[in-house]
Amino acid sequence: MRETLTRRGLGQAAAGLTLLFSLAPAGAQPRLPGSLQTNRRLDAWLRIEPGGVVTVCTGKVEIGQGAVTALLQIAAEELDVAPSRIRMVSGDTALTPDEGFTAGSQSMEQGGTALRFAAAEARAILLDLAAARLGAPAAALAVEDGSIRAPGGAATSYWEVAQAASFAREATGRVAPKPAAQHRIVGTSHPRLDIPAKVTGGAIYVQDMRPPGMLFGRVARPPSYEAKLLSVDLDAVRALPGVVAVVRDGRFLGVVAEREEQAVKARKALREAARWEVPAALPDPARLHESLRALRTDDSVPSEKRADAPPAVRRFQATYTKRYFAHASIGPSAALAVYAADGGSVQVWSHTQGPFPLQRDLVRVLGLPADKVRVSHAQNAGCYGHNGADDAALDAALLARAVPGRPVMLQWMRDDEFQWEPYNPAMEMRLTAGVAADGRIVDWGHEVWSNHHNNRPQNPREGSNLLASWHLERPHPPVYPRATPQPNGAGDRNAVPLYDFPNQRVVNHLIPEMPVRVSALRTLGAYANVFALESFLEEIAAALGEDPIAFRLRHLPDPRGRAVIEAAAKLAAEEPGDLPRGFGFAKYKNVAAYVACVAEVALDRATGAVRVPRVWAAVDAGQVITPDGLRNQIEGGIIQAVSWTVKEDVPFDPQGILAKDWNDYPILTFPEVPRIRTVLLNRPEAPPLGAGEASQAPVCAAIGNGLARALGRPLRALPYTADRVKAAMVG
């Protein structure tokens, strides 16, 4: 048995905590790998079931990126069983480990690491039991799909030797998982578990649940964040066909009906029956960044370096901005909830990214004991971060409370999602640099102004971040998180350069007050910080007359980063073209996957429309667990970020959010989607690195740098929507 305490995965603690390596023991207990640290019992993760089945439990959930399939592959690999034997149970507060949120591309690092060690240890326990039964040393036994064979031919299986109590113990984390060279399942493109059902109409999304007696719910939200309810006539709505309940609690309004179309009609009637006062509470959109900068900030310095260096002979500075963009899930948020007939307990099926944190907020808002609120994960359309999922779970529970014993399917309408989801925050970045006589950057400054990027349910002692909780008669105050430490960061994510500058200072101006509701959306602040950093670097290179790739490499000692940059440049060079191109690079969070992108940019000078016909990308995500899944995520991230960059801008005015449907908030369409070529640099002996959010920021920077070439000058304000680019061209 190999001592494994030095593996990098050991230091990776639960969601929201630091990813930095730490040897400090948690209390007297040994530090365990990944999420094992916070879920220490083996039987929380694995069970050998009768009939040749293995149950694997994960607190991570499927959000459309294949995480649960990848976790299954890991368990199958370490246990030496066929993937088809494994039954996955995911994200259920009654059944699975608490692994916080499925977010930040950390499923493999946290949940995957935990399962790898738990399964390796489970296999060792089963082999010890088999050794006793077969009278052969455990080391001499061979395992094939759960069948165990001794050298003389005597055989048994996991299912014969496993006892109920076999895994009823704490994990030790001391059984070494297989070395990568022995992997047969991990590293192959295992078909996703969920895709067959998704292409044949199988029941797989929360909206596909139809328990007997189910009713349909809709909410009638205020017209704006701060709107006051002056009056509402509920009786007229109660009298509508099929209406079972009309709920009013403060300015939370909702309906429950026998049929879905009846609920939709009742919602419309309820909205018409309500009279609201709508104050002008949002900033003037034309002065957005000035308004935000005027708010109070909590300042911190996430990175500061001082070293001897030659003096700067040239100084540069530039300010970059980005506005709000939306998750804009294709399926509006939904949830199923049912209260027990006595009203004493509730179960909610939700597409939340964090069943356990959601459960804790629900407990507080619903006023039930913790063991009377169960949250079970069920899929919906992709969320890409904190969208309306958790809010819909509370909405469903509030409506179900009015009809105990009957399940309520709550579905948001399109405008509910667009108007109320928490967007990715607006940001402003001010960069400064000093360049020495030898052309090296010797001094770097990056200041960022942003709201917090993570306003999910937080598990505080009081307050709640669930939307409806703010609208109740007795409202719960929102919870403002403190700055998230580096390397994760939030608004300052990727504000610390990976490049080596002898002197640097990064300042995070966290703006607690949120005039516009915002929270976690893929990459958090990394998208805008990398845009600013990589744009600024190219502006400096251009001013110095330097080749932008060579200029990057000169400042980047990290060999894996250099390899990715060179691979992307080479890939793009294989396909020459006439359109201007730009380059962008980042190592996501400075601890996850490396991605470099080249983007081709076509500017329509008449309309200002920016198109991105082709993108080339190089990726180093450490050991590749499932190559096809990795490509799918990288390419999906590129397409989504092209859409953010050239199409998306949440419209609002001082009275409220103006986005109600896809006409108000267009996204990239098929004819506009770039062709993408990706090269994966596999590092079988390096830990797997999260990649679901690694490509967005580099591709944005690449578009910015390509557009600067097309325009002959940088355009430092995102997004590059046609009207804004056109205005910048004439302005």
202 binds other proteins (CB under 8 A): yes
* Strands 334-339, 581-587: pairing kind: unpaired
What is the rounded distance in angstroms from the CA atom of residue 33 to the CA atom of residue 116? 9
332 binds ligand FES (CB under 6 A): no
382 binds other proteins (CB under 8 A): yes
Residue among 254, 215, 282 at smallest CA distance from 413? 254
Residue with smaller CB distance to ligand FES, 361 or 648: 648
Among 146, 302, 382, 407, binds ligand FES (CB under 6 A): 382
64 binds ligand FES (CB under 6 A): yes
Among 217, 357, 636, 688, binds other proteins (CB under 8 A): 636
Least distance between ligand FES and beta carbon 64 (Å): 6
451 binds other proteins (CB under 8 A): no
Least distance between other proteins and beta carbon 484 (Å): 26
Q: How many CB atoms lie within 10 A of CB 557?
A: 11
Site string for other proteins, 683-712 (x = CB under 8 A): ------------------------------
Residues 6+ apart with CB under 8 A from 664: 418, 651, 658
350 binds other proteins (CB under 8 A): no
239 binds other proteins (CB under 8 A): no
Residues 6+ apart with CB under 8 A from 6: none
Among 65, 352, 376, 465, binds other proteins (CB under 8 A): 65
Least distance between other proteins and beta carbon 377 (Å): 14
CA angle, 512 then 517 then 522, to 5°? 95
Q: Which two tokens stand for residue 465?
A: 């971040």
Which residues make beta-bridge pairs with 441? 435
639 binds other proteins (CB under 8 A): yes
Please name the amino acid found at residue 290: E
Site string for other proteins, 299-328 (x = CB under 8 A): -----------------------------x
Residue with smaller CB distance to other proteins, 302 or 388: 388
66 binds ligand FES (CB under 6 A): no
The DSSP call for residue 717 is B
33 binds ligand FES (CB under 6 A): no
Say whether 533 sits in a helix, a strand or coil.
Answer: helix
Among 151, 662, 727, 729, binds other proteins (CB under 8 A): 662
Least distance between other proteins and beta carbon 333 (Å): 11
Q: How many CB atoms lie within 10 A of CB 424?
A: 30
Least distance between other proteins and beta carbon 630 (Å): 11
Among 135, 201, 212, 559, binds other proteins (CB under 8 A): 201
233 binds other proteins (CB under 8 A): no
16 binds ligand FES (CB under 6 A): no
Helix 389-400 / helix 355-366 crossing angle, nearest 10 deg: 40
The DSSP call for residue 190 is P
63 binds other proteins (CB under 8 A): yes
Q: Which does 671 bind (CB under 5 to 8 A by kind): ligand FES, other proteins, none?
A: other proteins
Site string for ligand FES, 291-330 (x = CB under 6 A): ---------------------------------------x
Residues 92, 355 contacting (CB under 8 angstroms):
yes
Please name the amino acid found at residue 201: G
What is the rounded distance in angstroms from the CA atom of residue 347 to the CA atom of residue 359? 10
HEC profile of 575-637: CCCCCCEEEEEEEHHHCCCEEEEEEECEECCCCCCEECCEEEEEEECCCCCCHHHHHHHHHHH
- The interface with other proteins within residues 459-518 (CB under 8 A) comprises none
Among 85, 183, 192, 360, binds other proteins (CB under 8 A): 192
Helix 67-79 / helix 113-134 crossing angle, nearest 10 deg: 30
Q: How many residues bind other proteins (CB under 8 A)?
A: 62
Dump the DSSP string for 448-477. EEEE-S--S----SS----GGGGTSSSPPP
597 binds ligand FES (CB under 6 A): no
195 binds ligand FES (CB under 6 A): no
Residue with smaller CB distance to ligand FES, 119 or 659: 659
Q: What is the dihedral of CA 721, 648, 195, 618, to 10 degrees?
A: 60
Q: Which does 310 bind (CB under 5 to 8 A by kind): ligand FES, other proteins, none?
A: none
284 binds other proteins (CB under 8 A): no
Residue among 666, 615, 622 at smallest CA distance from 638? 615
Residues 309, 442 contacting (CB under 8 angstroms):
yes
Dump the DSSP string for 81-95. --GGGEEEEESBTTT
Among 140, 330, 370, 573, binds other proteins (CB under 8 A): 330
578 binds other proteins (CB under 8 A): no
What is the rounded distance in angstroms from the CA atom of residue 377 to the CA atom of residue 97? 13
Residue number closest to ligand FES, CB atom: 330
Least distance between other proteins and beta carbon 642 (Å): 8
Residue among 585, 584, 660 at smallest CA distance from 421? 660
Among 49, 144, 170, 208, binds other proteins (CB under 8 A): 208
Residue among 535, 284, 496, 523 at smallest CA distance from 424? 523
What is the rounded distance in angstroms from the CA atom of residue 702 to the CA atom of residue 699? 5
Least distance between ligand FES and beta carbon 606 (Å): 31
83 binds other proteins (CB under 8 A): no
Residue with smaller CB distance to ligand FES, 117 or 384: 384
Residue with tokens 């007696």, as numbered in its chain: 213
Residue with smaller CB distance to other proteins, 216 or 501: 216
Least distance between other proteins and beta carbon 699 (Å): 11
What is the rounded distance in angstroms from the CA atom of residue 493 to the CA atom of residue 158? 45
Residue with smaller CB distance to ligand FES, 201 or 369: 201
Among 162, 381, 402, 676, binds ligand FES (CB under 6 A): 381
280 binds other proteins (CB under 8 A): no
What is the rounded distance in angstroms from the CA atom of residue 274 to the CA atom of residue 126? 64
Q: Which does 259 bind (CB under 5 to 8 A by kind): other proteins, ligand FES, none?
A: other proteins
What is the rounded distance in angstroms from the CA atom of residue 514 to the CA atom of residue 519? 10
Q: Residue 65 burial by CB count (10 A; 0-12/13-18/19+): exposed, middle or buried? A: buried
Element (H, E) at 362: helix 355-366
Residues 6+ apart with CB under 8 A from 182: none
Residues 495, 302 contacting (CB under 8 angstroms):
yes
Least distance between ligand FES and beta carbon 432 (Å): 40
Alpha helices in 67-163 (DSSP H): 67-79, 113-134, 158-161
Residue with smaller CB distance to other proteins, 288 or 572: 572
Q: Which positions lie near other proteins, rule CB under 8 A? A: 63-66, 189, 191-192, 194-205, 207-208, 210, 216, 259-261, 264, 328-332, 379-382, 384, 411, 413-414, 628-629, 632-633, 635-640, 643, 661-663, 667-671, 673, 675-676
Q: Which positions lie near ligand FES, rule CB under 6 A? A: 64, 330, 381-382
